[in-house]
Amino acid sequence: GDSVTQMEGPVTLSEEAFLTINCTYTATGYPSLFWYVQYPGEGLQLLLKATKADDKGSNKGFEATYRKETTSFHLEKGSVQVSDSAVYFCALSPGAGGADGLTFGKGTHLIIQP
Amino acid sequence: NAGVTQTPKFQVLKTGQSMTLQCAQDMNHNSMYWYRQDPGMGLRLIYYSASEGTTDKGEVPNGYNVSRLNKREFSLRLESAAPSQTSVYFCASSEAPGIASGSFGEQFFGPGTRLTVL
């Protein structure tokens, strides 16, 4: 079946550092890929998405590129802020017709120190 | 437009008690989901409903039942709570991916219910 693997952390960085959170996936067909963010005490929010190979999703300074050849969707940000401290989840959705939900990675806890 | 709402926000139960977690969405989505989140385990799907009138088991359905009351509402019931069900529960909704819906399967989440079973 489908699966998503991501670094679990915690990942601790200083403010203004460069961020990469790795995500790789296994899926048949042509999945769509997502990054979600969960701030403390809150639900998950969709951060960005990419729906086909070589697409780049971007939002709030975060970017991720759908790499089919390496089955990866790494999350990057050039300069992190304390307010980016959260748990980040990589997820995939199967192609058309799938209504049984997303497959999530286990989440990466990001801590940004001032 | 409230999105996905969940009640209650917090709940403490004793072993063997029952309760129902409520979820409602106002985005006219066909599909709804219940997840539980535990430390180090990520999110695990309990049950889902692809459309009004249908429900299916997810990865961890034991000890739970669900009801899709109408298109808006999807409830999760614990008949006899156990300490292993201590968790944070999230409800989500989406459209099934496809050209007709314009969706790619992205889900929208509620704020969660933090449940403790003593």
Note the pLDDT tens digit of each residue in A51-107.
889 999 999 999 999 999 999 999 999 999 999 999 999 999 876 555 567 889 999
Provide the shortest C-alpha distance from residue B98 to chain A (in Å).
4
Nearest Cα residue in chain B from A39? B111
Q: What are the tens digits of pLDDT across the range B49-69?
A: 988 889 999 989 999 999 998
Residue with tokens 């089955």: A71
* Chain A residues with beta carbon closer than 8 angstroms to that of B43: 44, 89, 104, 107
Of A49, A95, A106, the CB nearest to B42: A106
Interchain proximity B42–A107, CB inside 8 Å: yes
Q: How far is A52 from chain B (nearest CA, A)?
A: 10
B108: β partners? B93
CB atoms inside a 10 Å sphere around CB B91:
28
> Given CB atoms, is A102 within the 8 Å cutoff of chain B?
yes
Q: Which of B41, B99, B111 sits opposite A43 (nearest CB)?
A: B111
Q: Which amino acid is at A12?
A: T
| Calpha distance A52→B114 (Å, rounded) | 36
Q: Which residues of chain B have pLDDT under 50?
A: none
Q: State the CB neighbour count (10 A cutoff) for residue A38.
A: 21
Tokens for A48? 């960005």
Cα separation, B21 vs B79, in Å, equals 11
